[in-house]
Amino acid sequence: MSIKGYIFDIKKYSINDGPGIRTTVFLKGCPLKCWWCHNPESQRKLPEKFEECTFRWHLSNDYENKQRIGSEVTSEQVITEIEKDVPFYEESNGGATFSGGEPMLQINFLNELLTLCKAKEIRTAVDTTGYTDFNNFELIYNATDLFLYDLKLIDDDLHIKYTGVSNKTIHHNLKLLTDLGNKVVLRIPIIPHVNNNGKNLDEMLKFISSLKNIREINLLPYHKNAAAKYTKMKIENKLPELEPPSKEEMNLLKDFFESTGINVKTGG
Domain 4-188, classified CATH 1.20.1070.10, yes or no:
no
State how far the alpha carbon of 66 is from the alpha carbons of 27, 54, 58, 72, in Å: 17, 8, 7, 14
The domain segmentation of the chain, as residue ranges, is 4-188
Q: Which regions in the chain score pLDDT beneath 50?
A: 55
pLDDT computed for residue 51 by the predictor: 65
Q: Residue 49's pLDDT is what?
A: 76
Q: What is the pTM of this model?
A: 0.94
**Quick one: pLDDT at residue 103?**
98
**How far, in Å, CA of 204 to CA of 67, rounded?**
42
The pLDDT value given to residue 228:
84
Per-residue pLDDT, 60: 56
- 68/77 Cα distance (integer angstroms): 19
| Residue among 132, 114, 155 nearest 3 (CA) | 114
Nearest-angstrom CA–CA distance, 151 and 204: 9
Q: Residue 221: beta bridge partners?
A: 190
What residues pair up with 68 in beta bridges, in sequence order?
A: 49
∠ at Cα 17 (248, 5), nearest 5°? 140
